[in-house]
Amino acid sequence: MKNKIYTLLILVFCITNIYSQTAEEFYKNGFEKVNKKEYKNAIIDFTKAIELNPNYELAYLQRGNSKSKLNDFKGTILDCTKIIQLNPSSLAAYFLRADSKQNLQDNQGAILDYSKAIEINPNFKIAYLKRGNAKQDLLDYQGAILDYTKAIESDSSFALAFQSRGSAKFALLDYRGAILDFTKAIDINPNYESAFYQRGLSKFKLEDYNGAISDYSKAIEIYPKQKNEYIYLIRGEAKYELGNYFSAILDFEKAIEINSNSKVAYFNSGKAKDKLSDFSGAILDYSKAIEIDPNYGSAYDNRGGSKNKLLDYRGAILDFSRVIEINPNNEFAYLERGFSKMQLYDYEGAIFDFNKTIEINPNNKFAFIQRGLSKISINEKDSACLDFSKAGELGYTEAYELIKEFCN
């Protein structure tokens, strides 16, 4: 009897040993497939390892990691949760679960897990960085700055943390502070293309257009094949602000080359052409922007302005009318349409539009002036003089010259 029991114990030991080895073999096979980026097949092997050893922590971790590579973040969370049940101090499980929650836009849940990872390892700079990112997504920029600062304290050469902190400061309109952080990131990594780009944005906000152009150009130099039309758009806008309209148009054309559906690039190109008195070219660009977005009110408005300059007042009226359809409270569309009607001697129609402008904004001095001039044209002198007087009260000093001419 004793011999039978002894034999049975040996058999159980051998089976257990084989069981453990087999789970380990499946794990090793899965790990090799991960290195080859064969994540689906790796998951099969890790699952087999877990079936053989339900407490195999590393197999859960690698299976969860493989699932995350396939964007199965819910599956990753389930695996990480199992690991945490097995080992409540698993730094890797909290961190991987936090990443997955963030990918599912569960930023609050991600923050809790990053915080747990930081509790386990207070010097975990990547956890501080990513917790800061989650806080940024929740618009908690001050909280994000604190986390990025902690990451920098852990590693003073952490360029990404400086760049991220700069982004949070930019969101808080602290452009000078943002520039300092972006500059530090560039000092650490002189080829940090996105830091140059963001520093350029900050300089643009401070109206340092030359500085902005220099940074945008450096970003393009570092990554000349980039497909980000916005960098050309914003560089073109900086050139536009400096009056370099020809050069600005070239940048807007480059943006269009990258994205032929960039309505803003066509719109900005139209603005630059208008400044160069190429009103026909401007109209073509505005028309293209409208083709891309039929409800692009600003494009209709500007196209109407260019048509006015070409004396196409009827065409301008159609465009301003479309602006009003899109936004019935656009005081300037009524004002401009009224001006176009004046040029066609439709003074009653013009007065109607100026009335609408004043109804929307009782302090629009230009509407009072134009309404007054329209009334003069239909011999409503007394009422016109009241309009000129009101325009003068609102700061339109030229109104007093009109009062001298028509009202005395």
Rounded-to-10 torsion of CA 304, 309, 311, 315: -10
Residue 7: per-residue pLDDT = 47
Q: Could you tell me the pTM of the whole model? A: 0.84
Rounded mean pLDDT of 349-376? 97
With bands split at pLDDT 50, 70 and 90, how would you rate the model's confidence at 120?
A: very high
Residue 227: per-residue pLDDT = 76
Determine the Cα–Cα distance for residues 120 and 336; give it in Å rounded to an integer: 65
pLDDT digits (tens, 9 = 90+) for 63-93: 999 999 999 999 999 999 999 999 999 999 9
pLDDT digits (tens, 9 = 90+) for 272-311: 999 999 999 999 999 999 999 999 999 999 999 999 999 9
Residue 6: per-residue pLDDT = 47
Percentage of the chain exceeding pLDDT 70 = 95
Across all residues in the chain, what is the average pLDDT? 93
Percentage of the chain exceeding pLDDT 90 = 92
Burial 318-331 (b: 16+ CB within 10 A, else e): bbbebbbeeeeebb
pLDDT digits (tens, 9 = 90+) for 9-67: 444 444 444 444 588 999 999 899 999 999 999 999 999 999 999 999 999 999 999 99
- Does residue 308 contact residue 339 with C-beta atoms inside 8 Å? yes
How distant, in Å, are the alpha carbons of 49, 140, 150 from that of 144?
Answer: 40, 6, 10
Residue 224 has pLDDT above 90, yes or no: no
Rounded mean pLDDT of 395-407? 93
- Does residue 83 contact residue 90 with C-beta atoms inside 8 Å? yes
- Does residue 160 contact residue 134 with C-beta atoms inside 8 Å? no
Determine the Cα–Cα distance for residues 388 and 20; give it in Å rounded to an integer: 95
Determine the Cα–Cα distance for residues 220 and 202; give it in Å rounded to an integer: 17
Residue 21: per-residue pLDDT = 56
Residue 408 has pLDDT above 90, yes or no: no
- Does residue 288 contact residue 267 with C-beta atoms inside 8 Å? no
Residue 225 has pLDDT above 90, yes or no: no
Burial 349-377 (b: 16+ CB within 10 A, else e): bbbbbbebbbebeeebbbbbbbbbbbbbe
Residue 10: per-residue pLDDT = 43
Residue 13: per-residue pLDDT = 42
The first and second tokens of residue 260, run together, are: 């032929």
